[in-house]
Amino acid sequence: MKNTQVVVLGGGFAGAYCAHRLERLGGENVDATVIDRHNYLLFYPLLVEAGTGSLEPRHTAVPLRILLRDNHFRMADVVEVDTAHSRIAYRIAGDGPVEWINYDHLVLALGSASNLPPVPGLAEFAFTMKSLGDAVSLRDRMIQLLERADAINDAEERRRLLHIVVAGGSFTGIEVAGEYLAFLKRTAPLYPRVDPKDIRVTLVEMLPRILPALEPEMSAYVTTSMQRRGVDFVLQESIKEIGVDHAILASGKRLDSRTVIWCTGIAPNPLVREMKLPTDPKGWILTEPDGRVKGFQNVWGAGDCAVNIDPKGRPYAPTAQSAVGEGHWVADNILRVTRGESSKPISFHIRGSVTPLGGHNAVVQFGTRYFSGLPAWIVYRCFYLSKIPGFARKARVALDWVGAMFTAGDAVQLNLHSRRPPSLSKAAGDVPAKEAAVKN
């Protein structure tokens, strides 16, 4: 009897854990192939810590070939999805030959991309937080700011350099604001001319409060806690323009800053639009209660790219916890269908949420209850340590954390950027000839 062929597009939380479950429960009757342009699962909840130096960056990347020992993996770019003939065309390793693979079931776990609206200056001057390169690039930027601030005599420019603007009050925006503020203040003593009082972070959120997914009481606590540590909040506002040394709000107010970090949400993977699947007005894939893409019997959606509905009729949030749950449930439904059984509506319990606030502080929510401070920070770290795949990876992360607690971080740039960071000069090309000669 021919084995059931399952192709999973995307090696993130939804795709990797779906394939892992198929491997573990499907036995020899199911062959799963994961296709992703990267050969690792990025452990996104710890991405900011990798950027601030609490973790070795590579320890947040889990090799897919270790996680999926018996499954097939192809590091490739998807060229075409032919749902009419149940086959996928992909280009191996980005520039290799194009090959085709047939499937009995297709799982779309394509994740998401950064939401980058047409704001003038956004593409040229803002930073994002979606990849390991983004996190490391931001850490290098912070060190660059400190070095420049320590070297200049202009007090006003020094304050501008040490003022960070974060757009977006979601989980990512809050963590970025808290952790990078803590990093700057922790590193500032190495720079004699930098006054820690000049280090500020302003977070801009268009809604009336931050963290709208959480209870209002928790949102208020986080706001108060972060204000005490130096974060200013500008609510019910948005950024309409970004320049090399400023951000302009919709109200016309100007924020003087050399660094704007864009954390305003996510957008669908561009491949979804090319596939011409049923989507909602924002471009997310519409699915049936069991995870099947509407109008298809053998195409499934899981994770950020799909709108999967919980038993109460609400979409599951685009978080790592939800992606793992959806990936597991889709795998179970595929196995049920291959056994001739009926699939079941997706239903799993969200255990709670943990949000680091920078330093040794976090906030944890379980149901309607929450707590914060150092105990919450310990729970946050223990929770994610338990979720990291593999004992060796857990040990490495734990050792990184212990080392970071008892040793000072290094103010060293890695310069491993996928794109050149925005200049600190006011005008393009404003670099002296001697300086230009040594730039990479």
To which residue do tokens 């795949």 refer?
A: 389
Both 301 and 315 in one domain: the answer is: yes
Torsion over CA: 28, 33, 39, 43 (sign): negative
Query: Residue 273 falls within a domain, yes or no?
Result: yes
Place of tokens 């990798």: 50
Is the domain of 231 the same as that of 148? Answer: yes
Q: What is the pLDDT of residue 407?
A: 73
Write out pLDDT tens, residues 54-84. 888 889 999 999 888 777 899 999 999 999 9
Do 132 and 106 reside in the same domain of the chain?
Answer: no
Q: Is the confidence at residue 424, as pLDDT, over 70? A: no
Contacts of 257 (CB under 8 A, 6+ apart): 160, 163, 164, 165, 202, 245, 246, 247
Confidence of residue 52 (pLDDT cuts 50, 70, 90): confident
Judge whether 138 lies within some domain.
Answer: yes
Give the domain-ending residue among 288, 321, 338: 338
Of the listed ranges 127-136, 206-215, 394-403, 429-438, the least confidently predicted one is 429-438
Is 322 part of any domain? Answer: yes
Print the domain residue range for 59. Answer: 4-114+267-338
Q: Assess contact for 261 and 129: CB atoms under 8 A.
A: yes
Q: Which residues pair with 80 in a beta bridge?
A: 89
Q: Is 353 inside any structural domain?
A: no
| Final residue in a domain of this structure, among 205, 240, 264 | 264
pLDDT tens digits, 247-286: 999 999 999 999 999 999 899 999 998 998 999 999 999 9
Residue 272 sits in the same domain as residue 258: no
Q: Is 65 contained in some domain?
A: yes
**Three-state DSSP state, 284:** coil
pLDDT value at residue 180: 93
Instruction: Tell me: do 172 and 88 sit in the same domain.
Output: no
CATH number of the domain enclosing 90 = 3.50.50.60
User: How many structural domains compose the chain?
Assistant: 2
- Pull the structure tokens for residue 85: 């003939």
Amino acid identity of residue 215, one-letter, is: E
Amino acid at 47: L
Is 316 inside a domain boundary? Answer: yes
Of 264, 292, 317, the domain-final residue:
264
Could you tell me if 94 and 177 lie in one domain?
no
For residue 391, is it within any domain?
Answer: no
Mean pLDDT of 169-181: 93
Same domain as 224, residue 313? no
Residue 149 and residue 253 share a domain: yes
Reading the block at residue 403, the tokens are 């080392």
- pLDDT tens figures, 275-309: 989 999 999 999 999 999 999 999 999 999 999 99
> What DSSP string runs through 182-217?
HHHHHHGGG-TT--GGG-EEEEEESSSSS-TTS-HH
Q: What is the pLDDT of residue 415?
A: 66
Using alpha carbons, select from 5, 10, 38, 35 the residue that is nearest to residue 22.
Answer: 5
142 touches 166 (CB < 8 A): no
Do 106 and 291 form a contact (C-beta atoms < 8 A)? Answer: no
254 and 137 both lie in a single domain: yes
The tokens of 238 are what? 């948005």
pTM: 0.87
pLDDT at 431: 35
Examine the domain organization and report whether 73 and 51 are in the same domain.
Answer: yes
Per-residue pLDDT tens over the stretch 396-406:
999 999 888 77
Contact 182, 359 (CB under 8 A): yes
